Amino acid sequence: MSEASIQSFLDDNSVTLMGTGEGIYRPIIKFAHAGFPKELSSELEAFPKPTCIQSIAWPGVLSGRDLVGIAATGSGKTIAFALPSMIHIRNRQVSSGSVFHGTKFPQVLVLSPTRELAIQIQETYEKFGGSIGIRSTCVYGGVNKWEQKKVLNNGVGVIVATPGRLIDLIEDEDGSCDLSDVSFLVLDEADRMLDLGFEEAIKKIVARIKPKSERQTVMFSATWPSAIQKIASQYLNEPIRVTVGSTDLAANVNIEQRVEVLDPQGKDRRLVDLLRDYHKSRKNRVLVFALYKKEAARLEQYLQRQGWKVASIHGDLSQQQRTDAITKFKDGSMPLLVATDVAARGIDVNDVEYVINYTYPLTTEEYCHRIGRTGRAGKKGIAHTFFTVQDKAHSGALINVLKQANQKVPAELMKFGTTVKKKADPNYGAFVKDVDMNAKGTKIVFGDDD
């Protein structure tokens, strides 16, 4: 590509790049240009061309650089890191003169915030890894550890895991999960992985793998708050940062966002009215988000009493129940699903027509992830959100997201105000000063009289 063509690609796709290095700005616009093994060709034939985040992330990751990739949900981020990570294993095999035949020491570790997302990532590794002889496994809670240990003992090249169960396994004295040879680390949904709930677990896990100077680390997410950027810097080594779309909090532009301000007491009746419109065929996929486990369970029962065929997914269900609900939602046998935010980053179904936010999430970042369950893989979708006076603290951030995506902002929403509340830093609260973590310190010289 000429320099003019490269710049045109970056401009047309609203790509922002930060970092230095030869070749990292040269996108891969055809699979044939990536240099992937020919065994992958048949699998890649299912896709017309690389997505934008794949095109712009692959040059840096394939060259061995650390990278942060920010792009909307449904934009192909899983393949953006999965294929290079398997090439990383192949390259290690070549350099060592060995062939992978079930070494007990995995070389790639992918961390995910939810079981559902981890399972979907594993499906991608199984699909592509089978073509080039790289085995992988998925480790998560809610199921018996014995089967997971058995797979690990047989040897895998890739572990996809949720942090809690992985820590259980690496702390087990039987040594079934040894991460000492991991040289490629992926944090998917990195903003969630580095937030307060997971950060201590991440530190404990990273301490068991190769140090930063001896490993490659890549992070992908749809949102990248400034507080998370500070935490991420301690795990990355001179990273490239690629952003597709706005560098601000943004939603997928393929999604029509409908925000309705209403009284909290009217949400049940309004939900049924919407379903009569959005789900009148009873065959198309509709995803309803609740905030809490008990709320999701109550909504499922309420809708069942109203005559709807519906399932739910939330933290009070067993892993088998959660898996069954996801499977039935995907195959269309149960196309109406009520879920908590465990599904906000864990359902990858290309034809979810509608997302309904019955209750607004705790953060507008999570709102973007929720509505990103529709409008995937270039398709259009509709997200309908109930907003009440109880959610007014989020009005400013939501208004910004709507405006950025050229969506209608209801006058009733504007009445709550446009102020954006500063998100608290997970370590230092809401009053931490924004600083450049890469800036060098200033040397201060004191005089003789000081």
Q: Are 274 and 338 contacting, i.e. CB atoms less than 8 angstroms apart?
A: no
Question: Which residue segment(s) compose the domain that 272 sits in?
Answer: 255-414
Q: What does the alpha-carbon distance between residue 120 and residue 330 come to, in Å, rounded to a whole number?
A: 12
Residue 99 corresponds to which tokens in the numbers above? 């062939």
The maximal CA–CA distance of the chain, rounded, in angstroms, is 84
Radius of gyration for the chain, computed over Cα atoms and rounded to the nearest angstrom: 23
Answer yes or no: do 237 and 279 share one domain.
no
Answer yes or no: do 346 and 401 share one domain.
yes
> Closest Cα to residue 215, out of 166, 170, 181, 177?
181
Answer yes or no: do 78 and 114 share one domain.
yes
Q: Report if residue 9 sits inside a domain.
A: yes
Task: Please compute, for residue 434, the number of CA atoms within 13 A of its CA located in the half-sphere on the CB side.
Answer: 8
Answer yes or no: do 127 and 167 share one domain.
yes
pLDDT tens for the chain, residues 1 to 450:
788 888 899 888 889 888 877 667 789 999 989 989 888 877 888 888 999 999 999 999 999 999 999 987 778 899 999 999 999 998 887 766 555 444 568 999 999 998 888 999 999 999 999 888 899 999 998 888 889 999 998 899 999 999 999 999 999 878 789 999 999 999 998 888 887 678 889 999 999 999 999 999 999 988 787 778 888 989 999 999 999 876 666 677 789 999 999 999 999 999 999 999 999 999 999 999 999 999 999 999 999 999 999 999 998 888 889 889 988 998 999 999 999 988 777 677 778 999 999 999 998 888 988 998 898 777 889 999 999 999 999 999 999 999 988 899 999 999 998 888 655 444 334 433 343 434 444 443 434 443
Q: Residue 23: what pLDDT?
A: 67
Q: Report if residue 429 sits inside a domain.
A: no
Answer yes or no: do 209 and 262 share one domain.
no
Classify residue 449 as exposed, middle or buried by CB count within 10 Å of its CB (0-12, 13-18, 19+). exposed
Q: Residue 438: what pLDDT?
A: 44
Q: Residue 98: what pLDDT?
A: 54
φ, ψ at 277 (rounded to 5°): -90, -55
The dihedral region occupied by 19, where left means phi > 0, alpha psi between -120 and 50, and beta the remainder, is left
Answer yes or no: do 30 and 148 share one domain.
yes
Answer yes or no: do 121 and 233 share one domain.
yes
Distance of CA 66 to the CA centre of its chain: 17
Q: Report if residue 333 sits inside a domain.
A: yes
Q: Which long-range contacts (CB under 8 A, 24 or more apart) does 434-442 make?
A: 434/226, 435/230, 437/229, 437/230, 437/233, 438/233
Q: Residue 283: what pLDDT?
A: 94
Answer yes or no: do 239 and 263 share one domain.
no
Residue 241 corresponds to which tokens in the numbers above? 């940062």
Q: What does the alpha-carbon distance between residue 99 and residue 81 come to, in Å, rounded to a whole number?
A: 22
Q: What does the alpha-carbon distance between residue 381 and residue 373 come to, in Å, rounded to a whole number?
A: 9
In the listed set 216, 244, 272, which residue is the last one of a domain according to the structure?
244
Q: What does the alpha-carbon distance between residue 314 and residue 293 come to, in Å, rounded to a whole number?
A: 6
Q: Residue 102: what pLDDT?
A: 44
Answer yes or no: do 51 and 99 share one domain.
yes
Q: Residue 278: what pLDDT?
A: 97
Q: Report if residue 196 sits inside a domain.
A: yes
Q: What does the alpha-carbon distance between residue 355 and residue 287 come to, in Å, rounded to a whole number?
A: 5
Residue 218 β-bridge partners: 67, 186
Query: How do strand 67-70 and strand 15-18 relate by DSSP bridges?
Result: unpaired
Residue 117 corresponds to which tokens in the numbers above? 């997302």
Q: Report if residue 355 sits inside a domain.
A: yes
Residue the block writes with tokens 């401009």: 11
Answer yes or no: do 271 and 217 share one domain.
no
Q: What is the CATH number of the domain that holds 301?
A: 3.40.50.300
Q: Report if residue 386 sits inside a domain.
A: yes
Q: What does the alpha-carbon distance between residue 397 and residue 412 come to, in Å, rounded to a whole number?
A: 15
Q: What is the domain count for the chain?
A: 2
Helices 319-331, 115-132: inter-axial angle, 10-degree rounding: 70
Q: Report if residue 426 sits inside a domain.
A: no
Q: What does the alpha-carbon distance between residue 69 and residue 262 come to, in Å, rounded to a whole number?
A: 37
Question: What SS3 class is residue 406?
Answer: coil
Q: Report if residue 421 sits inside a domain.
A: no
Length of the chain: 450
**What distance, in Å, lies between the first and last C-alpha atoms of the chain?**
59
Q: What does the alpha-carbon distance between residue 261 and residue 135 come to, in Å, rounded to a whole number?
A: 49
Q: Which residues contact 139 (CB under 8 A, 6 or more apart)?
A: 118, 148, 152, 159, 160, 161, 162, 165, 166, 169, 177
> Closest Cα to residue 33, out of 11, 56, 12?
56
Q: What does the alpha-carbon distance between residue 120 and residue 140 come to, in Å, rounded to a whole number?
A: 12
**CA–CA distances in Å: residue 384 to residues 1, 29, 203, 259, 380:** 42, 35, 38, 6, 14
Answer yes or no: do 304 and 356 share one domain.
yes
Answer yes or no: do 19 and 168 share one domain.
yes
**CA–CA distances in Å: residue 83 to residues 41, 145, 198, 236, 333:** 12, 28, 26, 20, 32
In the listed set 221, 244, 267, which residue is the last one of a domain according to the structure?
244
